[in-house]
Amino acid sequence: MSTTIAPQFSAAPRVLPGRNLTLGLTLTYLCLVVLLPLSAAFLTASALSGEAFWRTVTAPRVLASYRLSFGAALLAAAVNSVFGGLVAWMLARYDFPGRRLVDALVDLPFALPTAVAGIALTSLYAPSGWLGGPLASLGVQVAFKPLGVVVALVFIGLPFVVRTVQPVLEDMASEYEEAASSLGASRAQIFIRVVFPAILPALLTGFALAFARAAGEYGSVIFIAGNMPMVSEIAPLLIVTKLEQYDYAGATAIAVVMLGTSFLLLLIINLLQAWVRRRSTGQP
């Protein structure tokens, strides 16, 4: 009679700590880095009475800065969604001389200090600049106008769209496009029916990231904006101005409104992105 000895397996060593410890460290880190500063902003703004808070955040100068900051951020994110998608398509689908250089230049706004970017853009688009001079002769002034704010936000937001769409295009097999072409589909139909639905979630993600970065941008905008109240003054600059005047409650009140508005817009974009993903995968 033979006996069979069951093999004994030892548990594989874990590289990371257990779930409970990892969850605790994660929540602690998020509380210290994210929730604690945000809570401090809300507590500082609560020093104002309800009437004073409303009067501060609805002043004509503040409302004008909101319109410029959020309007320019949305417009710049929309522009980057179109042209950033084209750049991602070129980098993912075509091999051309200088491709690696172009791929590296896309990340330049990440590495370039925002103040340096603002100074460079102002020098370029000023009425005496290389591009500003010819545009001024056509009656288009970019620097020291709201258009300059949009240009600066397009510059700093482009990498977010390219780097979210490019991996999706690289992973998407070209056989689907070839099959659609063999069935007689035109290039426009291939893009609308095959390519666009596949990259839409990534495109929405890039749009949201570009908008979030642009809405609170300060360094690259103050040089080219002109900072004229009611015309080209952004909300972050108004917050800094109030801080310089030691009006901490007023500054945090404007910051709280910006935070709430940004969170609401990002929530809408994320819900739309989730709906698009469910629809593309056929989930209810």
- Reported as a single tens digit per residue, the pLDDT across 217-253 is 898 899 898 888 888 899 999 999 998 888 888 999 9
The answer to whether 73 touches 153, Cβ cutoff 8 Å, is: yes
Q: How confident is the model at residue 14 (pLDDT cuts 50, 70, 90)?
A: low
Q: Is 44 exposed, middle or buried (0-12, 13-18, 19+ CB in 10 A)?
A: middle
What does the DSSP assignment read for 198-250? HHHHHHHHHHHHHHHHHHT--TTTHHHH---TTTT--HHHHHHHHHHTT-HHH
Q: What is the pTM of this model?
A: 0.84
Q: What is the mean pLDDT of residues 136-152?
A: 90
Indicate the DSSP class of residue 172: S
Tokens of 52: 């004073």
Q: Is 41 exposed, middle or buried (0-12, 13-18, 19+ CB in 10 A)?
A: middle
Tokens of 35: 């929730």
